[in-house]
Amino acid sequence: MKFLNKIDKKYVLTLIICIFVALLCGAFIMLATGFNPIEAYATIIEGAIGKPRLLGNTIEKFMTLCLLGLATAIGAKGGLFNVGGEGQLFFGALASTMVGLTLSSLPAPIVILLAFLTAVVVGGFYAWIPAMLKVKLNVSEIITTIMLNTVAIKVVTYLVNGPWVSSSPAVSKGTDYLPDKLAFTKLIAASNLSTGFIFGAILTFLIWYFMKMTTVGLQMKLTGENPRFARFSGLKSDKIMVGSMVASGAICGFVGMTLVYGYNGQMVDTISSDYYFDGMLVAMIMNYNPIGIVIMSVFFAILNTGANMIDMTMGISSQIYDIIFSVLIFLMAANKGFIEWFNQSQAKKKARAIAKEKAGKEGI
Amino acid sequence: MWEQITALFTVGLFQNTIRNATPVILAALGGLFTEHAGIMNIGMEGMILGGAFVAVVFSFTFASAPMGVLFAVLIGIIIGLFFALFVVKLKSDEFIIGMTLNTFSAGLTVYLLRTVFHQTGSWVSTDIKGLPPIDIPVIKDIPLLGDILSGYSIFVYISWVLVFLVWVFLYRTPYGFWMRASGEHPEALETAGIDPVKMKVLSSVLCGIFCGLSGAHLALGYLNCFAEGMSASRGFIAFACVVFGMANPPKVFGAALLFGFLQALAIRLQSVGIPSDLTEAVPYLATVLMLVYITVRSANKKRNRAKKAMAVQAAEEG
């Protein structure tokens, strides 16, 4: 149980307290708007794990959040903020769908492999652009990735409703449906959970292993913490920064593919609604710690699928999820800042007392 | 071909340019303060959305547009203080707080819209009073110019005046000087006896007020409604304008007008058969390109200056 000893107990404790307070805030908001919070939270839990189908949806959501959170973490550990995961996800999803549709006559495993490679390459490439701009020209990657998100979403919206729109009258919007043989097999019937989960789990493990156990992971960490120091110690920090960003984009592209092949079946312009930003916030709460992201994703996946349930049955808008989510981040940030501020003022007090004492002695 | 191009440039195109640009101008002017105070303010999106929502709620409650604007400003101050509390006092990561503020604002406005006001998507009501259009006495009679420059809500004209006032504030008053110093050399400012923290908080509050005004204009200046996610990346565009205009008020104003123009052009090009989704992507792509251009240019400038200085030094040393 060496592993458990490594966990920062203080951090976990504050996290648990913050989660509790955030849920209380959510409860207060629901109470203020005329709903019964206890009933709502009970419905959230029931709506997330009450039935096999719902549990499947939660697990699928968990995988999405977790992978996107890890994608953010990889970028951030390497020193670059990838805010553009949403765009990379859209392009990855679209590219893999088009590969599936055009090559549908080939055997399924080959097509899926090709689709996977395309999604990863396209997502990675779309992250490579801002990364190169940052490394070569020092253009802020935060702004470029935010802008490139919108560009990607608009272009995809045009493509799936314009040149690549389905000609079949059975399809209301978006591209053609992928042939059945390409769709991932469902692990729980009628849920969103498919064999994509297994791929995702393997990928998650690989990312964790890569970040924590390999030299490249350590080099990434060093570069992210202090690129200058890393450069002076002989690391190719530029390459590492670009590499971590591309890896981040590639993961987003893969997530896009799982959304299409896992349960959506076709590419539409609503394939993701800010999923990446949810994953990014999870990563931020957990300080980009891979294991932390995995654990936190479970919590938010439950909250997310459950929020859909209270929207349907109780009429509480599912946005309560966003509210609780952001309150939690505010609390975590406030807590961290408050402790630092408290320590500082204590130190100041001490210094002042010592100074006074000294002054007193010298005065005599 | 030439006829088609000239057909695009109608009075409506320029009117739409100004309409699209105004919320961005207001927000970007707010972003100028925080930018100068050394805060990367990515949370303007949430500030605008909050302002728009509150403006509509109170315009609806009091059936009066000025009340809506007043409360939008108040919420702007509150959000500004909130932002400053985290970013300045508690020294949290400004990027994280900004992004979270956006999520929080988007979530809370939609939640309240749906559960309290029982509206989904957008909220249109005759009780939401908008700001009346204002005709400028002499200019409105000038044939073409009158149509383009006259007949907007008061905020359009206020935003033009504010460009000048913000410039005066930043470059001609001690407060502006201190604010810029709090971003560039907080230690030097502290030595001079001015608390940089206070200036940073002030910048954040001013940004909140301006974003509140931007939201109020967005909601009450033209359409008189609130829609979910109404700010539609305007906060990010404003942020891009601040960067693009190198944090100089007139240049930022120009950048915002350019954005408004590109957006207006996108709508016009739709009528010629160019899909709006593609044209709408252009301003965002343009921001990336402009950002690259600016960064490279300022880096070159610095390098040239360094080269010159070195040459001078070398000459002095013989």
| Euclidean distance between the first and the last CA atom of chain A, given in angstroms as a whole number | 59
pLDDT band at A63 (very low <50, low <70, confident <90, very high): very high
In the numeric block, the tokens 């609780």 are attached to: A324
Q: Which of residues 281-300 of A touch B (CB under 8 A)?
A: 281, 284
Contact B71, B54 (CB under 8 A): yes
C-beta neighbour count of A280 within 10 angstroms:
27
Q: How many Å apart are CA A193 and CA A320, to the nearest integer?
A: 24
Residue A34 falls inside a structural domain = yes
Residue A28 falls inside a structural domain = yes
pLDDT tens, residue order, chain B (318 aa): 677 777 777 788 888 899 889 999 999 999 999 999 999 888 999 999 999 999 999 999 998 899 999 999 999 999 999 999 999 988 888 888 998 999 999 999 999 999 888 888 888 888 888 888 877 777 777 777 777 777 788 889 999 999 999 999 999 999 999 999 998 888 889 898 889 999 999 999 999 999 999 999 999 988 888 998 888 888 988 988 888 787 899 999 998 998 888 888 877 887 777 887 887 788 788 878 878 888 888 888 888 888 888 888 888 886
Residue A3 falls inside a structural domain = no
B119 in contact with A, Cβ within 8 Å: no
B115 in contact with A, Cβ within 8 Å: yes
B229 in contact with A, Cβ within 8 Å: no
pLDDT band at A336 (very low <50, low <70, confident <90, very high): confident
pLDDT at A222 over 90: no
Contact A313, A43 (CB under 8 A): yes
What residues are paired with B225 via a beta bridge? B124
Q: How many Å apart are CA B43 and CA B34, to the nearest integer?
A: 11
Contact B24, B260 (CB under 8 A): yes
A154 in contact with B, Cβ within 8 Å: yes
Q: How many Å apart are CA A184 and CA A59, to the nearest integer?
A: 15
Q: How far is CA B242 from CA A183, B251, B287, in A?
A: 46, 9, 11
CATH at residue A183: 1.10.3470
Contact A335, A18 (CB under 8 A): yes
Q: How many domains does chain B have?
A: 1
Mean pLDDT to the nearest integer, A88-114 = 92
Q: Which of residues 75-104 of B touch A (CB under 8 A)?
A: 86, 89-93, 95-97, 99-101, 103-104
Interface test mutation site (partner B, options A319, A321, A332, max chain B beta carbons within 10 A): A319
The verdict on a CB contact (< 8 Å) between B97 and A333 is yes
State chain A's mean pLDDT as an integer: 87
Q: How far is CA A156 from CA A90, A152, A270, in A?
A: 7, 6, 10
Mean pLDDT to the nearest integer, A322-332 = 90
Residues in CB range of A34: below 8 A, 6 or more apart: B115
Q: How many Å apart are CA A297 and CA A305, to the nearest integer?
A: 12
Q: How far is CA A132 from CA A226, A248, B282, in A?
A: 18, 14, 21
Contact A263, A195 (CB under 8 A): no
What b-and-e string marks burial along A236-251, b requiring 16 or more CB atoms within 10 Å of the CB? ebbebbbbbbbbbbbb
The verdict on a CB contact (< 8 Å) between B285 and A147 is yes
Q: How many Å apart are CA A363 and CA A67, to the nearest integer?
A: 65
Q: How many domains does chain A have?
A: 1
Reported ipTM: the value is: 0.85
Residue A323 falls inside a structural domain = yes
The first and second tokens of residue B220, run together, are 């009450």
Closest CA to B95 of B31, B27, B43: B43
Give the range of the structural domain holding residue B124, as residue numbers without chain letter: 2-317
Contact A78, A241 (CB under 8 A): yes
A173 in contact with B, Cβ within 8 Å: no
CATH at residue B130: 1.10.3470
Interface test mutation site (partner B, options A132, A139, A140, A320, max chain B beta carbons within 10 A): A139
